[in-house]
Structure 1
Amino acid sequence: MYFKNILKFIIKSLPLSSRIRLMFLFKHKFFLSFSTPKLFSEKIQARKLSDITHYAMLSDKFAVRDYVKRTIGSEYLIPLLWSVDGDEFDSIPDLEVPAVIKTNHGSGLDHIEFLPSKKSNIEIVSKFKSALCSSYAGELYGEVQYSSYDRKVIIEQRLGNLSSVPHDFKFHVFTNDGSPRWFLQVDFGRYEDHHRNYYDSNLNLLDLQVLRPNGKYCLPAKKELDFMAELAIKLCGEMSYARVDLYLVDGDVYFGEITLTPGSGFEKFSSRHFEIEWGSLWK
C-alpha cells in the first residue's frame, strides 16, 4: 500500500499529457500519438486534452435530464423520485416503489444502491457520504468533466423487476461528417457472469472483445433497436462521437447516460481492425 501511494503521488506530479502517455503505454503496450491520433483509443486521449469541461452537463446524471427532455422528450427519462445537493444529504426518504439511489458524478458499486436494500438507511447514508467525497477515478487521467459540477444524490424509479437488472444498450455513435454510423454494445449478466457483445448496424455480431468475453444473447427486434439508434444519434447531436446508453423495458425506451470517454480510452480491443475503423469514423 505504501509503494502504491508513493507511485500515485509521483504520477499526480506529472503533467496530464505525461500521465496519459504512461497509462496508455501500460494498457495498450505501444506509444500513442497526440499530434496525429488515428486509433479510437488515441482519439479519446486527444478529447481529454481538449477543453472537455464544456461537456460537464452531459456527464452529470442530474443535469443531463434537461438535455434529454429538450432533445428527444421527457417520456424517455426514468422517473425521478428525489434529489438533494451533496452537502445537504443526511437521510433518504421512505419510498413506496422499488428505486435506485446513485450519485450524479460517479460510477461503480460504490455509487449505486438498489432499494429496497439489505443495508440499513444509516449504512446507505454512510456509503453515499463517502461516495460524495470521492474523486472520479478517471480524473487523474483527464476525465475532468466528472468533477466540473456540484455533486448530488438522486433517486430514480427502478426499471423492470426486483429479480433482475435490465440490460442497457450502449450505442457508439459517430456523426461521420453528416453520415452517422453506429455500433451496439450489450452488457449482460453484469452482476453474475458478465459478458459483452458488439454488433454492427445490421446487428451482426462482431468478432470483438473488450475486457469481457462474448456470449449468447437474444437481441430485441431490429425495428426496436433501429428506433433506439435514431434516439442515440439525436442525443449525440453535433459531437463527433458519443456513447449513448439506453434501456428497453417492456417495449418502452429509457435514457441511461451519455459517455464521452468510455473506459478513459484505456480498454484494449481484441481486434486492431475495429480500433482503426472506429478511429477513422471519428472525424
Structure 2
Amino acid sequence: MNNLFFKSTRRVLKGAASLMPDDLYLAFSHRRRIGRFPNMKRPKAFNEMILMRCLQPDPRWSSLADKLRVREYVRERIGERYLIPLLAAPDVFTKDVFDSLPSSFVMKANHGSNFVEVVWDKSKRSFEELRRIAGRWLSIDYYRVAREQHYKGIQPRIFFETLLLDQAGTVPSDYKMHMFGRGPDGPVIYTGIISDRFGTPRADVYDARWNRLDLAWGDYARSERAVPRPPNWEELSSVAMALADGLGYVRVDFYSCDDQIFFGELTFTPGGGTMPYTPDRCDYDWGRILQNANYSVTRDKAKATEGWLAWSIACIIAEHGGWGARVLACAGMPAGNSSLLSYPHAGSPPRSCLDRRYRRYRSVEVARCSVPRRSNASGDP
C-alpha cells in the first residue's frame, strides 16, 4: 500500500515538474542536486552561470552540440584525422544497416548525453534489441530532460561509429577539457579524466600543468593515485584550444587511444548547471575563473572559420520556418539552393559568405532580418 502511494505521489510530482517554466524547473533541479537554491539574478558559482547558459543559449550551440553536425566543424578546424570513423548515419535504422555493420561498434544518438550503446560482439546482439534502444532514444525530447534550450534545435538521429580500443583491449579514457580561455601563463584548462567508463568508472581533475586537484565531481569516485600526464598532452591542449577558439567557455571532450587523439563532443552547459562539486567551494572557484576568463580569437582561425559559423547559423534558423529564406538572403546565400541545407553534411558556403565577418552576421545582419522568435510550446526536439 505504501509503495503504491509513493509511486502515485512520484508520478504526480513528475507531472507537475513537467509543467514548470524552465527557470523554475532549473532552480528546483539545482536545489535537489547541489543542496541550495541558485542565485539566478547575480550568479557567482560555476553551476549558476551554467544555468543561465541553459536559459540563454548562443544560437551556434545547437549545431555544435549536435554530434553529427559538429563533425564538419571539427573537420574544418583541426582535420579529419581527429574524427572517430563514422560507419553509418541512416535516416532509418533497418536490418540492412545492422547487417552492414562490423562485428563490434558503438551506437549513439546525436541529440543529447548518455545515448551510447557499446556492441562488443554483434553475434550476441539482435537487430530488434538495438532497434528498441534506438527507438527509445529517438522518442526523448532532450530539452525536456534538463531544460537546456539549445537542444531544441537538434533533429534526433541514430549513428554508428568505430569502437575505439587501446592495446589492452579496453575503451580509452575520456578527457573532458574545460576551456577557460588564456591567462598570463598560457591556456587555462581544467581536465577531468574518466577512466574505466564501462567498468568501475573513476574521475580525477587536473589543471593545465597536470597538478591533480582536490576535487570530486558528480557521483564519480576518485582514483587511488594520480594519472600520469599523457605523453601527447601538448597536442591535446593545442587541438582543444583550436576547437574552443571563438566560442568562449566550452568543454571539449577527447579520447586518447595509444597516443592517437579522437574528438568526442563539445559541451556548453556541462551537467545542466546541477553538477555537484566536492568541496563545494570549487563551484565558486570555477565561477570566478569563468567570470574573469580572457577569450581572444586568433585572427587566422577566425578568418578561416568565420564563413562556416555564419553559414551554420543561417542554416539552423532556416530549418525552423519559411522565413529562413530572408536570413539566407542577408547572408548572401540563394534561398533556392537546398543543397546548402543538406543534413548531416552540407556543401561549402559560397564565396560571398566567406568574405564577410562573422560578427556582422551575429550582431547586424541577422537582426536586420527581423526574424520572429519561435514559441517554446512547439514541442520540437
Structure 2 match to 1:192: 199
Q: Give the deviation of 1:34 after TM superposition.
A: 1.6
More deviation, 210-219/187-196 = 210-219
- Whole-angstrom distance in 1 between the partners of 2:290 and 2:240: 16
Structure 2 match to 1:241: 249
Q: Tell me the matched-pair count.
A: 279
Task: Judge conservation of contact 1:203–1:222 (CA < 8 Å) in 2.
Answer: no
Q: Give the deviation of 1:209 after TM superposition.
A: 0.8
Counterpart of 2:232 in 1: which secondary structure?
helix
Structure 1 match to 2:93: 89
Counterpart of 1:174 in 2: which secondary structure?
strand
Task: Judge conservation of contact 1:111–1:128 (CA < 8 Å) in 2.
Answer: no
- Whole-angstrom distance in 1 between the partners of 2:50 and 2:199: 30
Task: Judge conservation of contact 1:60–1:105 (CA < 8 Å) in 2.
Answer: yes
Structure 1 match to 2:9: 3
Structure 2 match to 1:205: 212
- Whole-angstrom distance in 1 between the partners of 2:69 and 2:212: 34
* TM-score, reference length from structure 2: 0.68
Give 1:149's match in structure 2, choosing from 150, 154, 157. Answer: 154
- Whole-angstrom distance in 2 between the partners of 1:139 and 1:187: 26
- Whole-angstrom distance in 2 between the partners of 1:83 and 1:262: 25
- Whole-angstrom distance in 2 between the partners of 1:98 and 1:122: 17
Task: Judge conservation of contact 2:212–2:226 (CA < 8 Å) in 1.
Answer: no
Q: Give the deviation of 1:242 after TM superposition.
A: 1.0
Counterpart of 2:194 in 1: which secondary structure?
strand
Q: Give the deviation of 1:52 after TM superposition.
A: 4.5
Q: In structure 2, do the counterparts of structure 1 residues 156 and 217 end up closer, same or farther at CA, with 3 Å as the change threshold?
A: farther
Task: Judge conservation of contact 2:57–2:150 (CA < 8 Å) in 1.
Answer: no
Q: Deviations over 1:101-147 (max 9, x none)?
A: 11112332x542325342211211122122111222x6343213233
Unaligned runs of 5+ in 1: none
Give 2:30's match in structure 1, choosing from 13, 24, 27. Answer: 24
Structure 1 match to 2:71: 65
Q: Give the deviation of 1:22 after TM superposition.
A: 1.2
Counterpart of 1:175 in 2: which secondary structure?
strand
Give 1:130's match in structure 2, choosing from 107, 114, 136. Answer: 136
Counterpart of 1:282 in 2: which secondary structure?
helix
Letter of the 1:203 counterpart: W
More deviation, 202-211/146-155 = 146-155
Letter of the 2:39 counterpart: S
More deviation, 123-132/216-225 = 216-225
Q: Give the deviation of 1:218 after TM superposition.
A: 6.1
Counterpart of 2:49 in 1: which secondary structure?
helix
- Whole-angstrom distance in 1 between the partners of 2:258 and 2:116: 26
* TM-score, reference length from structure 1: 0.90
Q: Give the deviation of 1:243 after TM superposition.
A: 0.9
Letter of the 1:47 counterpart: R
Greater relative CO, 1 or 2 (CA 8 Å, sep 6+): 1
Q: In structure 2, do the counterparts of structure 1 residues 34 and 177 end up closer, same or farther at CA, with 3 Å as the change threshold?
A: farther
Percent identity, please.
28
- Whole-angstrom distance in 2 between the partners of 1:197 and 1:23: 25
Unaligned runs of 5+ in 2: 1-6, 292-381
Structure 2 match to 1:167: 173
Report which of the two structures shows the higher radius of gyration computed on alpha carbons: 2
Structure 1 match to 2:330: none
1:77 and 2:83 correspond: yes
- Whole-angstrom distance in 1 between the partners of 2:239 and 2:29: 34
Task: Judge conservation of contact 1:99–1:157 (CA < 8 Å) in 2.
Answer: yes
